[in-house]
Structure 1
């Protein structure tokens, strides 16, 4: 088997595992938990930030696409997500 296929399969398995873990953690939170501010960052900020790097890393490694995420927006104060929005983001 081609080494690149093994690498992709391994990375995909890890990605799916991480996505499922994030999704399960989000499901455990209440709607009120999303507004709690941890230091300077809300849970909504963390979810937004986690969502951004995974596709970007795949695009960069496999397709040489430049990082075009708005990282400042990921940590913008006042970012709010409902539980439904967070679950949708985590499941994409």
Structure 2
């Protein structure tokens, strides 16, 4: 296996892990938990998932694949928006499928293609690495909210629970 394939496989694996851990915690929660926020200045899990989906749309579908941008970033953080657990799960499944397919369909030379992000020229690979970092940060917030809501009933998404 060459270094290019190793990089692609690592990207795919990282996003699979992020998706899996998000779904693991969300499946433990109720609709109320998904939409709960610690305070007015903090986001709910549903806001965070909507934001990640918006980021996948803008960075992957628009930036890498060339589709039309229809993102409303401010709406992603609407404190009055209530989303069902099923909608959140569907959003994760569908957007991470787009991400996975895009990564696998790119020729390695396309990973070096330049694009503009916030007036900075970066490569497609830079965009994907930044997405992995960004989504990991939000995964941490989602996990923390899950732990806050479930207390002792929380089942870890990374370490097997002792019986």
- Classify the TM-score, shorter chain: 0.7 to 0.9
TM-score by length of 2: 0.46
Unaligned runs of 5+ in 1: none
**Aligned partner of 1:53 among 52, 55, 62:** 55
How much has 1:50 moved relative to structure 2?
A: 2.5
Could you tell me how far 1:32 is from its partner in structure 2? Answer: 1.8
**Residues 50-92 of structure 1, C-alpha deviations (whole Å, 9 max, x = no match):** 33334644454xx3759x4322121122111111111111222
CA distance in 2, matches of 1:81, 1:15: 23
Aligned to 1:43: 45
Q: Give yes or no for contact 1:31–1:83 (8 Å, CA) kept in 2.
A: yes
Counterparts in 2 of 1:64 and 1:24: CA distance versus 1, 3 Å: same
Q: 1:3 to 1:57 in 2, by over 3 A?
A: farther
* Equivalent residue number for residue 18 of structure 1: 18
What is the match of residue 86 of structure 1?
88
Aligned-pair distance for 1:39?
Answer: 2.3
**Structure 1-normalised TM-score?**
0.74
Q: Which runs of 5+ in 2 are unaligned?
A: 95-163
Instruction: Say which SS state the counterpart of residue 91 (structure 1) adopts.
Output: helix
Q: Is the 8 A contact 2:30 2:85 kept in 1?
A: yes
Partner of 2:28: 28
Larger-gyration structure (1/2) = 2
The 1:3/1:52 distance shift into structure 2, 3 A limit, reads: farther
Contact kept? 1:34, 1:42, Cα under 8 Å:
yes
Q: Work out which structure has the larger RCO, using CA pairs closer than 8 Å and 6 or more positions apart in sequence.
A: 1
